[in-house]
Chains A and B, each alone.
Chain A
Amino acid sequence: MKRQGYDGVVLAVPVSVPYIRYSNETAHWWIACALRAMLEQADIAPRDLDGFSVSSFSLFPDTPVGLTQHLGLCPRWLDTVPTGGASGVIALRRAARAVQAGDVDVVACVAGDANRIDSFRTLLTGFSRFSMDATFPYGFGGPNASFALLMDAYMAEYGATREDFGKIAVAQRANALLYPDALMKTPLTLSQYMDARMIADPISLFDCVMPCAGAEAFLVMREEEAKQRALPFARISGTIERHNAFADDPIQLRGGWVMDIDELYSMAGHGPEAIDLLQTYDDYPVISMMQFEDLGFCAKGEGAGFVRDHDLTISGDFPHNTSGGQLSVGQAGAAGGYLGLVEAIRQVTGQAGGTQVADARRAMVSGFGMINYDRGVCSAAAIIEGSGR
């Protein structure tokens, strides 16, 4: 059956609460900050919020149910999206269909996480059953070690070099210098990248994101609602989602996007050439490179060549992770799965400020989440399109 489009449903009010490396504030605090800023802009009283979708690793012992009472909300539609780096796109998919069906008028999608000292280690310890049983007892390198294995295999298979990954990180840092809320505020050169200490070979310091606290949010509503409230908005051209794809691949050299990307472009009615900017999930540059391939911007194995041939900065021919991505802004837990989407909404609605890509109309956002055992399990992507104002 051919999937229905997202006609009449839009995204609006992108909000990023500036990140902090270590903070004693809770996920509740961060989510409240994002929600307040967003509802104020949309002129919605908290009590009147209709729908609420939450992604967070650090709400325990609460769930979004507890948040409704904690924050004084009374939604008729409540969702929790536990897909980590794929949370933003997947929250969007759920909310858009609910709005389209009339189950709810406005959904606030929010991701936020706390980061106290030592909370990253604690988060890892209880991350998943397979990681507890079958990865952490092996050196406890966390995601760095798991992705080091993928990167090692990827380099051996396709001949990508550290310079190629360095180029992605360096371009993102250049973008981040134009994004006031990025935690990384100093320029990064390729030689600094190359000379950085190894963390889990071949992953070096600037391949890694910095865990931090923060929140990201956006609203999903009907187009007429956005117009009524005079909110700039973005339309949804297509979305995809996939979990545990290619389970028989011995090591992850491709993600679930490969299974669904053709459908995404056919929903959108165009190919990759029509995309003005790309936001990939960049927990490591190797994963961004994999997305260049799996999202159809180049063939499998040609990611390194693609990076060599393109300028990935805001003013370049292939603007990528325009706010600096998690590599330069920071990884605020589940908010890392929202960062690219929120930035993309800003871009296509002309609200990106210093990081604005000229004439940005169409953006692709992709998410990648949850290294449950030896690979990222969730993949998702969306194409969104600005309306102008």
Chain B
Amino acid sequence: MTNPLPVPAPKDPQKRTVVPTLPPVKRSRAALGLGIAAARGQFALQHCVDCGAVQYPPRDACCKCLSVALEWRLTDPAAQVLAQTTIRVSPDPYFRERLPWRMGSVQLAAGPVVVCHLHGEVARGDGVRMALKLDKAGQGVMVALPLKGSETMQDDPTLRAMSCDPKHRRVLITDARSPLAQPLAEALQRAGATAIFLGEAESWRRWEGREALAAMENVVLMPLDVTDTASVARLAAEIGGKVDILINTAQFIRPGGVVAGDTVFARDGLETNVLGLMRLAQGFGPAMCARTADGANAAVAWVNILSVQALAPDMGFGGFAASQAAARSVAQTMRGEFSASGLRVMNVYTGPVDDAWHQPLPPPKVSPKALARTVIDGLVDGLEEVACGDIATDALDRWLSDPALLERETRGGHS
């Protein structure tokens, strides 16, 4: 049983905000594969293509047959704890602030012995399920989780540090008019978020759904126009220091290809989807990065809702797709720039959302509700790269396995 996380006390402005430190960040090139799997919520290890031996720690050659053909494959996460310890002394600044720290050694059913973080509900002899999680350094690490955890298992300090759980956190949703805003606000409330700020551009324009949102508990509508630098700066000055999770739902979408497309729409798309993201990063990024070690409701995550067209364009939306690819590139730079603070950038790639702009398209389409659920699950699991809906999941898999082939398939002409 894990002690439930207490509601964080209000911030004491007389105290210095804890400066973020990171666990050890350096890894070999081979070990970066752990992070790739962790970012997607998968448990994968190197397997020898020639003899099948499962490797850990990550290697450059098989420890059974010396083959250099090692491949990352999904692996059975079942394991048993062989030994445990509680570290009470560490020279590393990150762990020193978090002592005592439990770790152990587990035997994977797949073969290798893994030194790992131990969830508070597991001990020597227990059967466990291993997970790869991103730690504050953004690296993939092994955590032994209980086979059947208690209701509060997510509140375990080790797991909490690797998750971006909205529980007890304050969230900014940048565009209240997005069809995603209401289901997202409702899902965040259910997940235990304590405050939800909703950005509203051009509040003089009436829009459907405003009243329902405004009536929700702990939800506040606030002026925010991502196409206006001054507006972003104003809101950042007001609430930047208490945004723990930012979810960018602001999106400008119009159909149209390149040759016959409207460049005004394309420009508006870039203005909102790319430059808007940059403005938000400039306005809210520094304050969030400064607060990544600020107690139980420290800043943890930045979420970008991107169309899966960021990876491969749909010809009917060429101008919009360009803005999504550009936004994805901006997000990658943000990851680099935020890495020293441990603030996570989660990209959620979605297939066509079931909204007015995709109305003529055939199914499958993503319901805003399902998209909201994916966002919350991704935050709880601490992911970086998430697909929502069948189309996006399929496209992301194909992109990961062969981007050049995906491009040819997208271009058409194959049977």
Binding site for B on A (CB under 8 A): 118, 120-121, 124-125, 129-130, 132-142, 144-146, 148-150, 152-153, 156, 197-203, 247, 250-251, 373-374
Contact = CB atoms under 8 A, between A and B. Distances in A.
Given A139-B101, A149-B104, A133 B58 contact: yes
Nearest to A244: B63
Contacts of A201: 85-86, 88
Ranked 6 nearest A-B pairs via Cβ: A140-B92, A148-B85, A134-B57, A141-B87, A133-B31, A139-B101
A201 B23 CA distance: 21
Interface string B125-162: 00000000001010101100000000000000000000
Given A138-B117, A200-B89, A132 B124 contact: no
B116 interface: yes
Contact of B95 (A134, A140, A150): A140
B27 A132 contact: yes
Contacts of B24: 125, 132, 136-137, 140
Interface string B107-128: 1000001111100000010000
Given A133-B58, A134-B115, A149 B83 contact: yes
Interface in B271-324: none
A198 B85 CA distance: 10
A374 B113 CA distance: 9
B87 A251 contact: no
B105 interface: yes
A50 B117 CA distance: 51
Interface residues of B, number: 41
Given A145-B103, A251-B83, A152 B124 contact: yes
Interface string B51-91: 00000111000010000000000000000001111111111
Contacts of B139: 137
A145 B89 CA distance: 9
Contacts of A140: 23-24, 87, 90-92, 94-95
Interface of B: 23-24, 26-28, 30-31, 56-58, 63, 82-92, 94-95, 101-105, 107, 113-117, 124, 135, 137, 139, 141-142
A134 B103 contact: no
Contact of B105 (A136, A149, A200): A149
A133 B103 contact: no
A141 B82 contact: no
Contact of B82 (A120, A146, A153, A197): A153
Contacts of A247: 63
A377 to B, nearest CB: 13
25 contacts: A125-B26, A132-B28, A133-B57, A134-B57, A134-B114, A136-B92, A137-B23, A138-B103, A138-B116, A139-B102, A140-B87, A140-B90, A140-B91, A141-B101, A145-B103, A149-B104, A150-B83, A200-B87, A201-B85, A247-B63, A251-B82, A251-B83, A251-B105, A373-B57, A374-B113
Nearest to A205: B89
Given A145-B87, A148-B85, A250 B113 contact: yes
A156 B83 CA distance: 9
A165 B110 CA distance: 34
Given A118-B91, A138-B142, A251-B105, 8 more contacts: A120-B91, A138-B117, A139-B87, A140-B24, A142-B90, A149-B104, A250-B113, A251-B113
